[in-house]
Amino acid sequence: MSNNPDTIHTRIWREEAEPDNPFATRTAYCRGYDVFGQMLGNTRWIEMLVLLFRDELPDAAQLDMLEALAVALANPGPRDPSIHAAMCGGVGGSSAAAALIAALSVGAGRYRGARDVFDAMSAWQACGTDVEIWRAYSLRDTQDDIADTWPRREHAPGFDPHGVSTAASVRQLLETLARIGATPRLCWLAAQRLELEKAVGLPLDIGGVAAAAFADLCFQPNEGEMLYLLLRLPGAAAHALEQERYGYKQFPFYPVELRDDPATKETP
């Protein structure tokens, strides 16, 4: 399938082997920088994260803004479906990877998940900073969209379909990121939030702020989707382990109301 079937092409990573073992790494370079020889001890984790996605770092304010976003996203909290899923793994003694896979799979979706961030970043590309275009975009009928492995979009991406007003946590995140990064979409969103929410008919959600921040950092929608998945995993890990310690007797197992029960059907 390739002219050089056993070679991996990459613009991200280079490795030099130890002289005695072609499979042992003597030096690893990320985007040309010596990872273990120069970066280690001199690099913030957030810098490494950005370098994995691009050749050059953004300015210091933008890095600080991304780091602040990473703090906000680190734990969606135990009410969030992705963390709920991770806890289902932890409470039953599933493997560590299973708990994280559960969080990734559930947190990948179009309701408060990474696909919503992808959609919201696509919306930024389509609508820019024009409230009227956002209004039309959010009202667009998606019934005839091409069939996709994802369920159809049900609400304006980046907004809370069950919200009443913007949660204080979302407002705080938006204002903080706009202040730190001073980037165009975040600043516009902070200034125009009420008007935009009125146009869309829903309050902004945390994913909508993340999407604006990722877009301001010049990430593509598929990169923002990946980052949103990655940055929410720490909370999933911690909550899964915690529920394993608490045990299943302290974890909700909900009552059920079965509406099609053969035991209650009349026999003919």
Comparison of 147 and 245: residue with beta carbon closer to another protein:
147
Query: C-beta of 259: minimal distance to another protein in Å?
Result: 5
By the rule CB under 8 A, 168 interacts with another protein: no
Give the whole-angstrom CA distance, residue 206 versus residue 117: 9
The stretch among 144-152, 167-175, 183-191, 214-222 that binds another protein (CB under 8 A) is 144-152
Helix 221-231 and helix 114-127: axis angle, to 10°? 150
Total residues in contact with another protein, by rule CB under 8 A:
56
Judged by CB under 8 A, the residue of 49, 53, 57, 175 near another protein is 57
Judged by CB under 8 A, the residue of 16, 154, 195, 242 near another protein is 16
Phi/psi for 174 (5° steps) reads -60, -50
Give the whole-angstrom CA distance, residue 141 versus residue 195: 22
By the rule CB under 8 A, 249 interacts with another protein: no
Query: C-beta of 23: minimal distance to another protein in Å?
Result: 6
Judged by CB under 8 A, the residue of 262, 266, 267, 268 near another protein is 262
Give the whole-angstrom CA distance, residue 255 versus residue 257: 7
Hey, how many other C-beta atoms are within 10 angstroms of the C-beta on 53?
15
Judged by CB under 8 A, the residue of 11, 141, 168, 267 near another protein is 11
Cβ 73 vs Cβ 92: under 8 Å: no
By the rule CB under 8 A, 267 interacts with another protein: no
Judged by CB under 8 A, the residue of 3, 19, 20, 32 near another protein is 32
The dihedral formed by the CA atoms of 175, 181, 186 and 187, expressed in degrees to the nearest 10: 80
Cα dihedral across residues 94, 96, 101, 104: positive or negative: positive
Judged by CB under 8 A, the residue of 29, 111, 137, 251 near another protein is 29
The dihedral formed by the CA atoms of 188, 209, 215 and 140, expressed in degrees to the nearest 10: -80
- SS3 state at 27: strand
Judged by CB under 8 A, the residue of 19, 141, 245, 256 near another protein is 256
Q: Which residues bind to another protein, rule: CB under 8 A?
A: 1, 4, 6-17, 22-23, 25, 29, 31-34, 38-39, 41-44, 47, 55, 57, 60, 95, 97-98, 101, 105, 146-149, 162-164, 252, 254-263, 265
